[in-house]
Chain A
């Protein structure tokens, strides 16, 4: 679906995106993770044909995106981080306008219903809350049934229940066979949604793999367990590879005195920090 080879780009004379190589397969959710200013949005702009002054090869749907044809935009949907909506128009009028730019479109009512905005569809967008605007912005990118979706921080500014709603819609799109490029600095979203993630720092990819592989390569760090002694609760940690050497743990297991026990795997943020020396959030 997407093939990027030796990509170089800079807004100034100082190099920014440097020698970037990756491929995104059809039907997968591919995540770009990185701190602000790492180059995630710039790569998205290149992939969507907004920036054509790059060096290297960027093939999207087997076509170079330096000068995309207007038909290219019939097949992609973009949800930018900040809502782009006409504030003076209602939600329905907004969707109707954006739908009118495409050859084929979906019925608007089910889309509005899918994000719980059907009853508010005739309200002006200026009266919407931040979360409502984010949800409307999201379905706006789906109005023409695109095969390839670019989502930039799709859950940003949403409360947990609406974030869940949007994540379920993203997974629904994946189930329909859509390819999704997710740009985020939210490791939980990336872990839950992405088939593969690329860590971007200072314009280059530092790691690329599935979240599970990235986590398992580091392995579970340690085991934590708690027990009671002299009326007080105590906690101890032991490396997963050295549990056999922990005599206290052996004894507690033998005597059935363990209060709790669990392993703690590193999360993507830990791995990101380890690989790049930076934090995602």
Chain B
């Protein structure tokens, strides 16, 4: 436990020494401020200009969903950048032969940041929401967001050799968000072309409220983890 805590604080310490990662960590807060205070004003301006009763308002849920997914995504991205930096400095393998072990390394560098990011994400939605959320809905969506962001972090670490490659991979992994707008804008059957994106099912659950959509999102997010985790474990050695 002591090694886990020390290793987690080392992640925190490294983020603090990197101004890019500090910005990454605060990006979701900035997004929350923008969504909460700028979007309703923009809506008023647009409605006045186009003389309509609502333009953005029917899609406010989508802004909340983006906010919910953004915090885990950004914080897990920061954690994966720290891991890549440590990989570059031969640190990942060394820490695996200390009482931390391989499993402790992954827990302290990915699992704990991912769980904390979910708490942050829930706080952000409570603080900056544009639509009304039930507590259960918020927890359910946040859990799936956590799992998706966790897989993204594993994906970035697995397929990059250093931070530069990691940033390129992060751009690619940004398509994790692609599924979110689909239930809001794409018609009926065509939506299901995005079935492989957990974010599509999250949005569908959040929009339509069927538990089955949550279950699909949950299982799909979970399914991406073991193959990536296996690759991460092999890479550490």
Q: Confirm or deny: B153 has a beta carbon within 8 angstroms of a beta carbon on chain A.
A: no
Chain A's interface: helix, strand, loop or mixed, by majority? loop
Is there contact, CB below 8 Å, between B93 and A80?
yes
Measured CA separation A102–B99 after assembly (Å): 7
Chain B: minimal CB distance from A133 (Å): 10
Q: Confirm or deny: B94 has a beta carbon within 8 angstroms of a beta carbon on chain A.
A: yes
Q: Confirm or deny: A227 has a beta carbon within 8 angstroms of a beta carbon on chain B.
A: no
Q: Mark B87-105, 1 if CB is under 8 A from A, else 0.
A: 0011101111111111010
Chain A: minimal CB distance from B85 (Å): 9
Q: Which of A33-64 contact B (CB under 8 A)?
A: 45, 48-51
Q: Report A-chain residues with C-beta under 8 Å of the C-beta of B48.
A: none
Q: Report A-chain residues with C-beta under 8 Å of the C-beta of B99.
A: 70-71, 73-74, 101-103
Is there contact, CB below 8 Å, between A86 and B101?
no
Chain B: minimal CB distance from A204 (Å): 21
Q: Confirm or deny: B14 has a beta carbon within 8 angstroms of a beta carbon on chain A.
A: yes
Chain A: minimal CB distance from B84 (Å): 14
Q: Report B-chain residues with C-beta under 8 Å of the C-beta of A78.
A: 94, 97
Measured CA separation A228–B17 after assembly (Å): 71
Measured CA separation A143–B3 after assembly (Å): 15
Measured CA separation A174–B17 after assembly (Å): 40
Measured CA separation A45–B6 after assembly (Å): 24
Q: Which of B3, B90, B96, B100 contacts A50 (CB 8 A)?
A: B96
Q: Report B-chain residues with C-beta under 8 Å of the C-beta of A101.
A: 2-3, 6-7, 95, 98-100
Q: Report A-chain residues with C-beta under 8 Å of the C-beta of B98.
A: 73, 98, 101-102
Is there contact, CB below 8 Å, between A70 and B97?
no
Please judge, given known A-B contacts A51-B237, A70-B104, whether A76 and B97 are in contact too, CB under 8 Å. yes
Is there contact, CB below 8 Å, between B10 and A97?
yes
Q: Which of A1-45 contact B (CB under 8 A)?
A: 45
Q: Which of B90, B104, B237 contacts A45 (CB 8 A)?
A: B237
Q: Which of B2, B91, B95 contacts A100 (CB 8 A)?
A: B2
Q: Closest B-chain residue to A50, C-beta based?
A: B237
Please judge, given known A-B contacts A98-B98, A102-B98, whether A84 and B93 are in contact too, CB under 8 Å. yes
Measured CA separation A86–B95 after assembly (Å): 12
Chain B: minimal CB distance from A106 (Å): 15
Please judge, given known A-B contacts A50-B237, A85-B89, A86-B89, whether A73 and B94 are in contact too, CB under 8 Å. no
Is there contact, CB below 8 Å, between A49 and B7?
no
Q: Confirm or deny: A116 has a beta carbon within 8 angstroms of a beta carbon on chain B.
A: no
Q: Report A-chain residues with C-beta under 8 Å of the C-beta of B237.
A: 45, 50-51
Q: Report A-chain residues with C-beta under 8 Å of the C-beta of B6.
A: 97, 100-101
Q: Report B-chain residues with C-beta under 8 Å of the C-beta of A50.
A: 93, 96-97, 102, 237
Q: Report B-chain residues with C-beta under 8 Å of the C-beta of A100.
A: 2-3, 6
Q: Report B-chain residues with C-beta under 8 Å of the C-beta of A70.
A: 3, 99-101, 104
Q: Report A-chain residues with C-beta under 8 Å of the C-beta of B90.
A: 80, 82-84
Q: Closest A-chain residue to B3, C-beta based?
A: A101
Q: Which of B83-132 contact A (CB under 8 A)?
A: 89-91, 93-102, 104
A-B contact pairs, 16 of them (CB 8 A): A50-B96, A68-B101, A70-B99, A70-B101, A73-B97, A73-B98, A73-B99, A73-B100, A78-B97, A84-B89, A84-B91, A85-B91, A86-B10, A97-B6, A98-B98, A103-B99
**Contacts A73-B100, A102-B3, A103-B2 known; 19 new A-B pairs at CB < 8 A:** A48-B97, A50-B102, A70-B3, A70-B104, A73-B99, A76-B97, A78-B94, A80-B90, A80-B94, A84-B89, A84-B94, A85-B91, A86-B89, A86-B91, A88-B17, A101-B2, A101-B95, A101-B98, A102-B99
Identify the 10 closest CB pairs spanning chains A and B, nearest first. Answer: A84-B94, A84-B90, A101-B3, A70-B99, A100-B6, A78-B97, A73-B99, A101-B98, A50-B237, A48-B97
Chain B residues packing against A (C-beta within 8 Å): 2-3, 6-7, 10, 14, 17, 89-91, 93-102, 104, 237
